[in-house]
Amino acid sequence: MQTNKELTTLEGIKAYRLAIATGSNIDITYLGHAKFHADIELTGLSDIDEPSLQGVKSLLVEMERALDHFVVVNKVVRKGLELATISKFEHLAWKTYVQLIRKAYRKGTELRAKALKIE
């Protein structure tokens, strides 16, 4: 299992993505779904270059920017409708990220082959 420090490396991020793509619930549960923020912030998902995924990738990067902007602007404790809205938005970003990673790392893709070589 990886530590939070290892997740901030490219190798850690690739292992995290592979765990999502292969359905390794132990690793995903251990690392937590919030770790996808580190991936988007560090890589910008730049290695995902499949043409059919570019729109979703761009949307996901913008969702992450919106979440970051909200956190920077609203440093106060969130509650009520504000908390519910940002929680739903973050959950949507997480679900979108998982689907993007699963599609990008599906069997037969170059990313999956590279990731399996690293392991």
53: containing domain = 4-118
Looking at residue 45, what is its pLDDT?
A: 94
Instruction: List, for residues 87-115, the tens digit of each pLDDT value.
Output: 899 999 999 999 999 999 888 888 877 77
DSSP H helices, 32-79, are 36-43, 54-73
The pair of structure tokens assigned to 57 is 């990738």
| Per-residue pLDDT, 22 | 85
Whether this prediction's pTM lies above 0.75 is answered by yes
Evaluate if residue 2 carries a pLDDT over 50: no
- Asked whether 20 and 31 are in contact (CB, 8 A), the reply is no
CA distance 18 to 72: 31
- Give me the pLDDT at residue 92, please: 94
Classify 49 as helix, strand or coil: coil
Number of domains in the chain: 1
The pLDDT tens digits of the residues spanning 67-88 come to: 888 877 777 677 788 888 888 9
Asked if pLDDT for residue 18 goes beyond 90, the answer is no
